[in-house]
Structure 1
Amino acid sequence: MPKSLLRAASAVVLALAALSVPAAHADEVAPVAVTVNARAALASVPETGIGANHAIWDSNLGTDETAGLLKDAGVKLLRYPGGSYSDIYHWADHTAPGGYVAPDTDFDTFMSGARRTGAQVMVTANYGTGTAEEAAAWVRHANVTKGYGVKLWEIGNENYGNGRYGSAWEADDHADKSPAEYARHVVAYADAMKAADPTIKIGAVLTTPANWPDGITAEGDEGTWNQVVLSAAGPKIDFVILHWYPGALDRTAHVPDMIHLTREQIAKHAGPGAAERIGIAMTEFNTGSSSNGTNTQPGALAAADAYATLLANGVFTVNWWNVHNGIGAVTEVEGHTDYGDFGLLSSGGCTSDGSVCEPPLNTPFAPYHALRMVSEFAHPGDRFIRAATDEAQVTAHAVRRANGDLAVMLINRSSGTSYPVAIDYAGFSPASGAPTVLTHTNGATGITRSTTGTATGQTLPPLSLTTLVLRPSAPQTGLPGAPGRPTVSGLTDKTATISWPAASPGARPIAKYEVHHQYGAVSEQLGETPGTSLTVNNLKPGTRYTINVITRDTGGGLSWSSPPLTFTTGTPAAASCTVRVTDQNDWGNGYVGAIDITNQGAPINGWTLNFSWPRTWQGFDSGWSAVWTQTGSDVKAVNDSSNASLATGASTTIGFVGTYSGPNVLPTTFTLNGTLCTTR
């Protein structure tokens, strides 16, 4: 059902309810409409989803108390030896020239703590001041000598920060600081390390889309950092590494495009089959916003939102920076002291003048409780499903569980408003009675658990995290299995053939499969078939689609939906015009763009090119070789006097300075004098 119809239906229900109750006071808050769609599946929850960073300058890295707290929070992956220290750290003698190494932080001590936590491990091998041989010896020590079974190994930390792009914070002793040199060493490291243990997985450092220095091509390079690294090292790596410090608490809208663009780069540059073979890890994440609350409740809400959004988009781990970090700039945020500490747990330190001290060592900060809430909400093996609200201050996430349960996490970012919510479910019927409710509120020192409200109605306190755990109204037995992951072929501007592995029948034979398009938080059925392939027509050119397939049996019973398939339609293979748009020179939040226009039809004298920016955070500052105007996200370029006439086969190039404050998804559809062009 389209979202507008859902809202209309909700309005009717509310209107009928109003007939039997006194009129609402003017200051009462209208219920927030929440939509949860169990038919719109996203990524599954990985075993290693909830992670954190340990650092060798933290003397509490391997203590039993720290390990126990991380276990209680559901941390399933620990990264070592700690950010930029990775590129100065020598594991064999446990030294980091130029840095501080705390007692009891060596690799074996770290592994002991990780095992007590019950977490898998990711190790960052020293690229900046190390060698492939040193890294290979570490693999042998870890997995051959000690039998630790460490599978995930990064090559370096933030190696693009070696001065290549004008800013240097990462140690790099190589005379050549280019991405090509880094990629050459990644290949050498991978060969040496996999010779020691062929079962390990190797990760390479990428820049994060829309985060400096992503998109910049340095002098002498053949492309951006990501393009060069993936082209040279792609066949040797198993995952890529992103870091994200958004610097604000409301940037999760960037995540789908951030991850989609990374996947596009992998598919384009890393070789055949790379998109299916190479995973994405967010090995450092923090809100990066000490002024808005790094270790108080606003930061916690942003953390829960970001973890859920990143995992729902297929990232296999998100690692908080850091377990312990230390006191920073002290402020007051939402009624509580914020210590400017990027840690999950208090380090127990004081400001340099001793005027302010943190709580006792290992006191959990608010983001710790956020990670714990995410681990209670999304268990490994669950599958994320679409959820959305009609209120900007309230965010929703949902997962379905193999046993038929559903969990819904609701985030209220308002500092002064308690929001009632009215939850509508598609593809799931909740049991009657009060659900299990987990809540964390501003300033709370833990998560409360209760049985309250209903599956369709709750009230969210200000600055709160709330998770509902819901049972189905009827036993989930005898239903057909979900189809396997779909694939796409025969993709054009308007058609796509969707195929999928057959589902296993339940108590009754399979009657058909239904193909659904995720349309926001609701689903639109595109077609159905008794077979395992369907050609879908009437798609929109240049549009990204996410598809699920559902099994229906002869009694009307429905399966859970398949894993998602995402693809983007093209533009007409032949048209009376062709357009090519390129990013000619990027500086991280803006770029010089060029649009090449070719007339493939009859000669024209006077033309207008129309297109729209795909995202609200995109625009342009100026343009040339045309008269440029922008209304909202819609852009119009009209010929100037020098290029009004285009003979058949003739071309002209117009240019602009584009701006962006999020992932820069270039426009894909253009019309020339009202005709849709072929985009090259």
Structure 2
Amino acid sequence: MKIGKHSLSAVLLTLAFVATALVIGSAGQAALAVPAPQVAAALPPQAANAAAAGDVTPPTEPGGVRPCPPPLAPTVPTGYASICWTPSNDDTGVVGYDIYELTSAGFVYRTTTTSTIGGFSGVYGRLYTMYVSARDAAGNVSLPSQMITTVATLGMTPTISPSPVPDDIAAPTKPTGLTDGCLADYPGVAFCWQPSTDNVGVAAYDLYRKTATTYLKVGTRTASAHPSFTESGLETGKRYLYFVVARDAADNLSLPSDSLSALAREGLPTGTCTVTYRATTWTTGLSAEITIRNTGTTTIDGWTLAIDYASPAPRLASGWSATWTQDGTRISGAHLQWNKTIPAGTATQVGFNAAHGGTATAPVKVSLNGATCLTG
């Protein structure tokens, strides 16, 4: 059997593409630049099937994401980055797969396909990071797939010479050493990492958090010798998945860092109040005397003191200098009219009596108007 010159070239080019594609997480690979999209970003098409309006179950996450030889490419002076994946499952059926590209502005929608192979045009020889999500007729969107980085090639048909590339195409190195809890007193997520390097210089780091449908860009940090990131407004005690991308002045992007599972912490007290708790105990009861001191710079006008105990908590019996109530393991005292205000630098005293089952435990947390107080 004879193989023509064009056919042989296509085979060799396809093999070269497979050999040079990179999947995130593979060790020892160097990254090239990832340019911004060459087409205007658009939103994925929305479902218009009214019959599926009651469907709230999203498709399963696309799996097995891998680089694939691009389909027959048009004769244009661009490259083509293409991936394949295994089909998602859905109770009513998947109607499309949306592909998103990582840019300096975040992940940008690029194209939609009904098959399990897809991609987009780009600069020949450059690496592109992307992910794919599945969508059903009701508009439910799956979890984003694993991210993948692959090179743009010229396709499987002969093309004209590729267009020239910019002068700086060297990307920063992949961020490493992500460490959770670098700022233990921060109320939310706080983590840090080792700085990346670049042939010209790293300009910034972009931070991403995984959500139910995408990888959300949640912040940018200017390059420094000790880079770190914080995010508030999260659910305390819950873990969130993050990754970091380094960027230089030419908008060349590094490979995404390995993912970090970061814990949203309560943080340390703000220091605007100090509470002194003194309890006299006996076999089945206790009498607690509490001093509330305003250590802030402004007057506290109206207050509620909350004292949280581990279970089993003492059982409130009576109290003084406040209106006392109990809800589960929390005993609370609200101001009376005569001690409603606590000027800066002054204090007020309150107290209560309670019963216990033989062991009088100390409070695990004391807060004033919802803010944790220092204890002393």
Please report the TM-score for the alignment, with normalisation by the length of structure 2. Answer: 0.41
Task: Name which one, 1 or 2, has greater alpha-carbon Rg.
Answer: 2
Please report the TM-score for the alignment, with normalisation by the length of structure 1. Answer: 0.26
